[in-house]
């Protein structure tokens, strides 16, 4: 595989700033581009976020490419895949990097299928292997293991970088002054096949943005005890989260699930009560700065990730924590 162009792809849907994870994706893109002597592009679908070109420069981007089209104003998988495929046809990037999120989980593998690229999701790194080809490392089994994949056999690759996999690092040699290019792709023939009947509604603040999260798991014993989690979250000025089993049991809404198939969070404080610490749960919170675990089993896996541990019955400790936090 010859690597001439590495493109980081993103869209902000008119939200103003760069979407979360863009700087991380650019950091990885810069690393691969440097190692292979490729040019680094930032491809933006839709309108350019305010600070886009300046940030791109800080991360060493050579060109900011933009595809603007009425069909890209709202998220539409069919139009997005078509636009990206058109870009691939014109620019032949060897590597397309996405920051993994709900939208990119649909678009990235479809793009790979459309253009015949290889695809790796949940990537934590891409680097040159011993043979001189690219290798992607991705988490598996929820993070219990990691897989190293050799990227060979296709002309191009699509990689989605896991949220929280690495820390953003601006380009070493100082900022670049990226040029801006407008790329034309004909999207008149694309009609979104999926019709939205009822939009998802975000109610209130999101776990992904929370600074403090208090989560409860099966160790709470019953749905009536989840209020302890909500009360402690409120006393600490944070939000309440959950492990999957209590979502599956219907104690709390699925939008509160933290983990591999739930929310990927990055709070300053993550307090987990009655949660065992399975890898699939930790995939959604292990990037927290401080993890506190309350568990009656001193050997629970969660203590391996925690900075502070309280061994005991969470039903007894939580009310005391609520009291102490309110004082």
Partner 1 sequence: MRIVVCVKEVLDPDAVNNYALAGRLEIGEDGKSLTQTTIPRLMNGFDEQALEAALRLRDAGAEGRIGAVSVGPDAATILKHAAALGVDEIASVLMGEPSPDYHVVASLLAAYIRSSGDADLILCGRQASDDDQGVVPALICEALGMPLVTNARAIELAPAADEPTLRITRVTPDGDEVVEVPCPAVVTVSNELGEPRYPTAARKLAARRMKPEIITPEALALSPEALQPRVVAQRQFVPTVSGDCEFLPGETPAELADALIARLRQESVIS
Ligand X SMILES: Cc1cc2nc3c(=O)[nH]c(=O)nc-3n(C[C@H](O)[C@H](O)[C@H](O)COP(=O)(O)OP(=O)(O)OC[C@H]3O[C@@H](n4cnc5c(N)ncnc54)[C@H](O)[C@@H]3O)c2cc1C
Give yes or no for residue 57 binding ligand X (CB under 6 A). no
CA distance 11 to 20: 11
Among 30, 31, 110, 281, binds ligand X (CB under 6 A): 281
Least separation in angstroms between residue 279's CB and ligand X is: 7
Nearer to partner 1, 179 or 308 (CB): 308
The answer to whether residue 259 forms part of the interface with ligand X (CB under 6 A) is yes
**CB 40 to ligand X: min, Å:** 33
| Nearer to ligand X among residue 121 and residue 314 (C-beta) | 314
Contacts of residue 314, defined as CB under 8 A and 6 or more positions apart, other chains included, come to 216, 219, 220, 228, 273, 274, 294, 295, 296
30 binds ligand X (CB under 6 A): no
In angstroms, the CA 80 to CA 273 distance is 41
By C-alpha distance, which of 163, 157, 119, 156 is closest to 25? 163
Among positions 206-225, residues that touch ligand X (CB under 6 A) are 217-219, 221
Q: Binding to ligand X by residue 256, rule CB under 6 A?
A: no
The option from partner 1, ligand X, none interacting with 146 (CB < 5 to 8 A, set by class) reads partner 1
Give the H or E element holding residue 91.
helix 77-91
Which does residue 140 touch among partner 1, ligand X, none (CB within 5 to 8 A, set by kind)? partner 1
Q: Residue 27 or 122: which CB sits closer to ligand X?
A: 122
Taking the least distance from each CB to partner 1, the nearer of 43 and 119 is 119
Q: Is 25 exposed, middle or buried (0-12, 13-18, 19+ CB in 10 A)?
A: buried
Work out which of 276, 287, 291, 322 binds ligand X, going by CB under 6 A.
276
Nearer to partner 1, 77 or 86 (CB): 77
For partner 1, give the closer residue by CB, 90 or 290. Answer: 290
Work out what residue 259 binds among ligand X, partner 1, none; the CB cut-off runs from 5 to 8 Å by kind. Answer: ligand X
Distance of CA 25 to the CA centre of its chain: 10
Among ligand X, partner 1, none, what does residue 212 contact (CB within 5–8 Å per kind)?
partner 1
58 belongs to the binding site for ligand X (CB under 6 A): no
CB of 134 to partner 1, least distance (A): 11
The interface with ligand X within residues 228-247 (CB under 6 A) comprises: 243-245
* Structural tokens at position 212: 């403090």
Give the residue carrying structure tokens 């009656």. Answer: 296
> Which residues between 122 and 181 bind ligand X (CB under 6 A)?
142
Distances from the Cα of 45 to the Cα of 10, 72, 193, 241, angstroms: 6, 7, 19, 32
Given a contact cutoff of 8 angstroms between Cβ atoms, the answer to whether 21 and 100 are in contact is yes
Question: To the nearest whole angstrom, how small is the minimum distance from the Cβ of residue 234 to partner 1?
Answer: 13
Q: Of these, 165, 240, 295, 321, which contacts ligand X (CB under 6 A)?
A: 295
Least distance (Å) between residue 275 CB and partner 1: 13
First to last CA, the chain: 62
Per-residue tokens: 284? 């959604």
Residues 6+ away with beta carbon under 8 Å from 84: 9, 43, 45, 96, 107, 111, 114
Would you state the structure tokens that stand for residue 161, as one six-digit string?
A: 């970088």
Q: How far is the CB of 77 from ligand X (least distance, A)?
A: 23
DSSP class of residue 309 equals E
Neighbouring C-beta atoms of residue 15, cutoff 10 Å: 10
What span, in angstroms and rounded, lies between the C-alpha atoms of 168 and 20?
A: 11
What is the size of the binding site for ligand X (CB under 6 A)?
A: 29
Binding residues for ligand X (CB under 6 A): 142, 217-219, 221, 243-245, 257-262, 274-276, 278, 280-281, 284, 294-297, 300, 313-315
């Amino acid at each position: 595989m010859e690597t001439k162009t590495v493109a980081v792809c993103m869209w902000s849907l008119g939200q103003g700033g760069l979407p979360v994870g863009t700087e991380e994706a650019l950091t990885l893109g810069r690393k691969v581009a440097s190692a292979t002597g490729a040019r680094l592009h930032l491809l933006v679908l839709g309108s350019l976020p305010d600070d886009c070109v300046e940030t791109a420069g800080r991360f060493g981007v050579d060109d900011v490419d933009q595809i603007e089209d009425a069909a890209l104003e709202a998220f539409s998988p069919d139009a997005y895949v078509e636009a990206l495929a058109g870009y691939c046809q014109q620019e032949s990037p060897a590597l397309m990097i996405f920051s993994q999120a709900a939208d990119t989980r649909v678009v990235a593998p479809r793009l790979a299928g459309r253009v015949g690229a290889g695809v790796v999701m949940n990537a934590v790194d891409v680097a040159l292997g011993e043979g001189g080809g690219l290798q992607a490392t991705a988490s598996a089994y929820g993070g219990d293991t990691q897989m190293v994949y050799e990227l060979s056999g296709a002309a191009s690759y699509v990689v989605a970088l896991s949220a929280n996999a690495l820390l953003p690092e601006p380009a070493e040699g100082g900022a670049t002054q990226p040029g801006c290019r407008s790329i034309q792709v004909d999207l008149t023939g694309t009609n979104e096949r999926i019709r939205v009947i009822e939009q998802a509604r975000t109610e209130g603040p999101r776990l992904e943005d929370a600074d403090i999260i208090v989560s409860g798991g099966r160790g709470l014993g019953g749905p009536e005890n989840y209020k302890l989690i909500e009360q402690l979250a409120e006393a600490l000025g944070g939000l309440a989260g959950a492990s999957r089993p209590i979502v599956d049991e219907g104690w709390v809404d699925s939008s509160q699930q933290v983990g591999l198939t739930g929310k990927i969070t990055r709070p300053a404080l993550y307090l987990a009560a009655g949660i065992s610490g399975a890898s699939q749960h930790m995939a959604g919170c292990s990037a927290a700065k401080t993890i506190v675990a309350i568990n009656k089993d001193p050997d629970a896996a969660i203590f391996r990730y925690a900075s502070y541990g309280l061994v005991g019955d969470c039903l007894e400790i939580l009310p005391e924590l609520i009291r102490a936090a309110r004082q």
